[in-house]
């Protein structure tokens, strides 16, 4: 019996489907994560490129759009356990060019940019209330890394009862193994997975 058989027999992997009111979440697509010499690498640049037409489709339908960044203060006053585990995070200061959303996806006025200190876009932020206010029920998820902030955000989206739909070609990771393993976990346990093409079609079609 393969591992997928184990999951299938126990009823994992069901498709939840889209609700009535989707939003787009773009996780940590900042310069530092698009640059292999900083925190990037792997398929992240490809994922950025694949996100461009998805973002365009969302804007054409006036869907709510949220970007996230990891941000720590210059003076270290807000660095906690995560910044001890990953000291490289401390370079992600508020005004560093490395911490600007990549030009190809630059936020427009009225789109929300969330500064967070944890992996999840929801932890210690006002993302959930912002989505409540817009009566969102479905969250298309793009960004990086698949095995880090994307997955943590997807798990919390489930907790808040927003249906997460991960756009496979629009999420990236510095390493292929964790990318694939986390797509597997998310598909089995937390999210629907779709291609960018399917997502664009659904968004343009009003679903």
> In the bound complex, what is the minimum distance in angstroms from residue 154's beta carbon to its own copies?
10
Q: How far is the CB of 31 from its own copies (least distance, A)?
A: 15
CA torsion sign, 23 to 192 to 82 to 43? negative
Q: Are 111 and 90 in contact (CB under 8 A)?
A: no
Active site residue 144: no
Q: Identify the bridge partners of residue 30 per DSSP, sorted by sequence position.
A: 101
Residue number with CB closer to its own copies (49 or 90) = 90
Least distance (Å) from its own copies to the CB of residue 9? 9
Beta bridge partners of 171: 143
Order of strands, sheet of 163-172, starting from the edge strand that comes earlier in the sequence:
112-116, 65-70, 22-27, 138-144, 163-172, 192-194
> Toward its own copies, which CB reaches closer, 182 or 200?
182
Q: Which is nearer to its own copies, 193 or 200 (CB)?
A: 193
Q: Is the Cβ of residue 114 or residue 200 nearer to its own copies in the bound state?
A: 114
Q: How far is the CB of 193 from its own copies (least distance, A)?
A: 12
The one catalytic residue among 58, 144, 149, 170: 149
| Minimum gap (Å) between residue 167 Cβ and its own copies | 17
- Cβ nearer to its own copies, comparing 33 with 200: 33
Interface residue list for its own copies (CB under 8 A): 3, 6-7, 10-12, 14, 16, 20-21, 38-39, 41-42, 75-78, 80-82, 84-88, 109-112, 117-120, 123-126, 128-133, 135, 137, 147-148, 152, 155-156, 158-163, 174-178, 181-182, 184-185, 189-191
Q: In whole angstroms, what is the distance from residue 121 CA to residue 126 CA?
A: 9
Point out the residues that are catalytic. 149
């Amino acid at each position: 019996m393969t591992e997928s058989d184990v999951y299938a027999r126990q009823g994992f992997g069901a498709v939840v489907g889209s609700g009535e009111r989707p939003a787009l979440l773009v996780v940590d697509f900042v310069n530092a994560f698009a640059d292999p010499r900083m925190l990037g690498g792997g398929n992240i640049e490809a994922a950025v490129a694949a996100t461009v037409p998805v973002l365009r489709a969302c804007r054409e339908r006036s869907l709510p759009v949220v970007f996230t960044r990891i941000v720590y203060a210059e003076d270290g006053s807000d660095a906690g356990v995560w910044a001890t585990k990953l000291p490289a995070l401390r370079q992600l200061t508020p005004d560093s060019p490395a911490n600007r959303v990549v030009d190809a996806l630059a936020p427009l006025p009225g789109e929300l940019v969330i500064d967070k200190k944890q992996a999840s876009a929801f932890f210690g932020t006002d993302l959930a209330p912002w989505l409540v206010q817009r009566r969102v029920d479905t969250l298309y998820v793009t960004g990086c890394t698949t095995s880090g902030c994307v997955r943590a955000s997807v798990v919390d989206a489930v907790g808040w009862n927003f249906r997460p739909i991960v756009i496979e070609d629009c999420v990236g990771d510095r390493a292929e193994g964790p990318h694939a393993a986390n797509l597997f976990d998310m598909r089995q346990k937390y999210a629907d997975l779709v291609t960018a093409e399917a997502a664009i079609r659904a968004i343009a079609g009003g679903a």
